Amino acid sequence: MKHPLPLFKDYLRNGYYPFRRDEEYEMELLQVINQTMEVDIPTHLQANVSLGKKLKSLLMVVAKSVPFKPVMQRLAEATGISRNDIPDYLVYMERAGMITQLRNSTGGIRGLGKVEKLYLDNTNLIYALSPEHADIGNVRETFFMNQMRVMNDVTSSSISDFEIDGKTFEIGGRKKGQKQIENAEEGYIVKDDIESGYANVIPLWTFGLNY
């Protein structure tokens, strides 16, 4: 593969799911989203069908705001869901592959840290649900989080975007500098739009090859 970047850009939009690679890809993805949010999760919870509409509304709020630190009261006001129920619903949405919750490391065990940011689960969901909010920074962070969480405990970092096993990762474009990680014990710059790495600079696309 001499030039991976064009293929990588295509993957970010429509390569995550095993659907046909044609004009119907987005339609199939939206059908899966609707089935998951409006039928599967409410059925699993043995809840009224009206919950599905509220969960879909919650997903759309997340889609238009990511990445962001969740404020439960604001999410409750935007969706009509009880503030006390939202954390549980976010967990079910995460288990269903719709969102990802980035936590800090205070808990010491996976899943017990405080939620610092919400992301959509993968970049295809960004372009399907809210293409007008497909900020490139969000797309890059979402891809990194989606790929690295499979084999690692990914947590938030106090100085950069992510931390994994004491290593800190700052995500950016080809012009991203080193300043943000200059005080890190072991820091890496993950750059989009480059084919090859050097020193502590790693191409973003290569994180799709880690498992």
Residue 108 pLDDT > 60, yes or no? Answer: no
Question: Cα angle vertex 189, ends 186, 193, to 5°?
Answer: 160
Residue 99 pLDDT > 60, yes or no? Answer: yes
Looking at residues 57-64, what average pLDDT do you find? 95
Dist CA 162 CA 23 (whole Å): 35
Q: What is the largest CA-CA distance in the chain?
A: 55
- Check if the beta carbon of residue 99 is closer than 8 Å to that of residue 119: yes
Characterize the bridge pairing of strands 115-120 and 162-164. unpaired
Residue 22 pLDDT > 90, yes or no? Answer: no
* 153-197: pLDDT as tens digits: 999 999 999 999 999 999 999 999 999 999 999 999 999 999 999
pLDDT at 95: 97
Dist CA 125 CA 25 (whole Å): 12
> Could you tell me the pLDDT band of residue 111, with boundaries at 50, 70 and 90?
very low
> b/e string for 160-190 if b means 16 or more Cβ within 10 A?
bbbbbeebbbbbbeeebeeebbeebeebbbb
> Taking the mean position of all CA atoms in its chain, how far away is CA 127?
12
Residue 211 pLDDT > 70, yes or no? Answer: yes
Dist CA 104 CA 155 (whole Å): 5
> Could you tell me the pLDDT band of residue 23, with boundaries at 50, 70 and 90?
confident
Characterize the bridge pairing of strands 162-164 and 99-103. unpaired
pLDDT at 112: 57
Looking at residues 21-31, what average pLDDT do you find? 87
Which strands make up the sheet holding 115-120, listed edge to edge? 115-120, 99-103, 154-156, 162-164, 167-172, 187-191, 201-203
Percent of the chain past pLDDT 90, that is, above it, reads 87
> b/e string for 30-40 if b means 16 or more Cβ within 10 A?
eebbeebbbeb
> Could you tell me the pLDDT band of residue 110, with boundaries at 50, 70 and 90?
low
Look up residue 203 and give its DSSP letter: E
Residue 107 pLDDT > 70, yes or no? Answer: no
